[in-house]
Structure 1
Amino acid sequence: MAEQERLTNKERRQRGREERKRKAEEEAKAARRRRIISVLSTIVVLAIIGAVVATAFLGDDDVIDEAIVLNSEEITEAREAAGCEVLAEQPEPGAATHFPNASAPPADQLYAGVRPAHSGPHLEQTLPIIRRGSDNQLDERGLLHNLEHGSVAAWYDPEQLEDGIKDDMEDWSARLIESGFAEPRAGTGIYVSPYTEPGITSGKTIAFRAWGFAMDCDEWDEDVAYSVVLERYGSHGIAPERTFAPFPEELLRYEDRDVEDTSTEDAPVGEPTETGTPTETATDGAATEEPPATEEPTTSEPTETTS
């Protein structure tokens, strides 16, 4: 106190300026620290959110990084164990008919046989690719157009499906789509959807569908599901516009037999119905005679994909 009293006014003003400068510098440093902490916190939060979103969207086991190799004899046994029945192996007559989305008849008027349908008149627009399946029942009429382009679908009865199987099915479809079993611009991919209206006609839990192919099973078996894709997806199937989806040969195969690429063959097709607008009935524009649709269950052995 005595020392301050001895300071001149000039010295006191100088000390005041120095003190204010020191406090201003300390406040500036504190503000910089707060900004740095805020930026780092934001980065950490965004990184966590990104990781959560990536995990939810991509999954942990998301891409086929090594070829899936199946054995046809083991698949036959797996299909039998899963209670699988092949209900159809040829498309329905009039299957190539397209309807405008706004004026298409309801599915119950279009499809009188096996449900969900495997072929038949359908909407003129395909459904979008749905990576991990749909929680709501997809429009059967729209999905048939996707099947016409070489897609494969796995429908399920949610009331009969065991806990956890829905996630397994969605993981299966996501893995295939991310690995190359999808052509979004063509509406070709792997689809998973519940089916409650009117319900799977066979009364089984799982209904595999590709164009002209229907196989229903009592339970989900992933190897069986892969075998359907191997035999029916894209250029391995008989869909009229299957050339939209070349089969990724390096990712999925049998170890004991070949599955033929059918791209250059005429697809078995039916005659257009009286309503709707017929489309081209074969990949090369040439129509072929329609073999009769198979309505009775056949053996559950893996089938050759040549038409």
Structure 2
Amino acid sequence: MVEKMRQDQQRKERTRSFAILGVCVLIVAALIGTASWKAIQSNNEKKERAAKAITELGKAAAAADCDAILTKPTDKSQTHISAPQPITYADAPPSFGPHRPAAAPFGRPFYGADDRPEVAELVHNLEHGYVIAWYDDTAAKDKAEMDNLKSIAEKYQDAQERFIAAPWHPSDGAAFPEGKHIALTRWSADDKDQADESKQRGNWQYCGSVSGEVTNDFFKKWTNDQSPEPGLM
């Protein structure tokens, strides 16, 4: 009888301990969930504020002389080609194609004429879901245009978005279409089967001037999931 009472008491204590542990786990999970939700909400709010600020930079969409977005299938090549083997692109600028094994780092949202990475490195960034705003030599000579483009790039960086602004030189390949000095590019893919090269596309939008409104509309058209290699870098 004494042994049975002792076992019953031990069973009750175990049950009580498990109940306390369960409550503690639920409390910790709730705290973590609340913290995660607040972090996500804060990050989304930060991105929304950045997007709003970006739309106010440069010219309005109606005044920026922008063409409609051009989209076409890729050449089905994601090959890594090491330097110094040259890589040439049919498009000015490219939005897909073979590229260098290493991409340009996320830490630099804006590049000038003297420190820009190789075009083939930036194409690697496109593969991972970056939008690149290329500017030609005419735009580079316009301080107001460069100030606006640099501000756009920095605001995207502050919001931890994948965006780079970089120059396009005559030595890189063909010129932009007549009267266009800014080119937005994005390498997109089917979000259900990113690795299928037949479901990948190159996207361009050429503008006469910098427009935060146009840039943000182009940027938000695709999520990172709609990239050949999302979630990397």
Bin the TM-score by the shorter chain: 0.5 to 0.7
Matches of 1:222 and 1:234 in 2, distance apart? 20
Q: Could you tell me which amino acid in structure 2 is paired with residue 244 of structure 1?
A: L
Q: 1:173 offset after TM fit, Å?
A: 1.0
**Pairwise mapping of residues 75-154 of structure 1 onto structure 2 (< 5 A)?**
79-86=61-68, 88-100=70-82, 102-106=83-87, 110-112=88-90, 114-136=91-113, 137-154=116-133
Paired residue for 1:242, among 222, 230, 233? Answer: 230
Give 1 or 2: higher helix fraction. 2
Give 1 or 2 for the bigger CA radius of gyration: 1
Q: Could you tell me which amino acid in structure 2 is paired with residue 190 of structure 1?
A: F
Q: Could you tell me which amino acid in structure 2 is paired with residue 129 of structure 1?
A: F
Secondary structure of 1:89 counterpart: strand
Q: Do 2:50 and 2:159's aligned partners in 1 also have CA atoms closer than 8 Å?
A: no
**Pairwise mapping of residues 98-247 of structure 1 onto structure 2 (< 5 A)?**
98-100=80-82, 102-106=83-87, 110-112=88-90, 114-136=91-113, 137-161=116-140, 162-181=142-161, 189-196=162-169, 197=171, 198=173, 200-203=175-178, 204-211=180-187, 212-235=202-225, 238-244=226-232
Aligned pair in 2 of structure 1 residues 85, 116: CA closer, same or farther (>3 Å)? same
Give identity over the alignment, percent: 25
Q: How many residues align?
A: 163
Q: Do 1:91 and 1:119's aligned partners in 2 also have CA atoms closer than 8 Å?
A: no
Secondary structure of 1:192 counterpart: strand
Matches of 1:79 and 1:95 in 2, distance apart? 33
Q: Do 2:92 and 2:174's aligned partners in 1 also have CA atoms closer than 8 Å?
A: yes
Gaps of 5+ in 1: 1-62, 71-77, 182-188, 246-307
**Pairwise mapping of residues 2-81 of structure 1 onto structure 2 (< 5 A)?**
66=49, 68=51, 79-81=61-63
Aligned pair in 2 of structure 1 residues 160, 65: CA closer, same or farther (>3 Å)? closer
Q: 1:141 offset after TM fit, Å?
A: 0.8
Q: 1:131 offset after TM fit, Å?
A: 3.3
Instruction: Output one character per residue of 1:60-103: Cα deviation in whole Å (capped at 9) or x when no partner.
Output: xxx65737469xxxxxxx54532222463234213312212x24
Instruction: Give RMSD over aligned pairs.
Output: 2.7
Secondary structure of 2:86 counterpart: coil
Secondary structure of 2:216 counterpart: helix
Q: Do 1:200 and 1:207's aligned partners in 2 also have CA atoms closer than 8 Å?
A: no
Gaps of 5+ in 2: 1-45, 54-59, 188-201
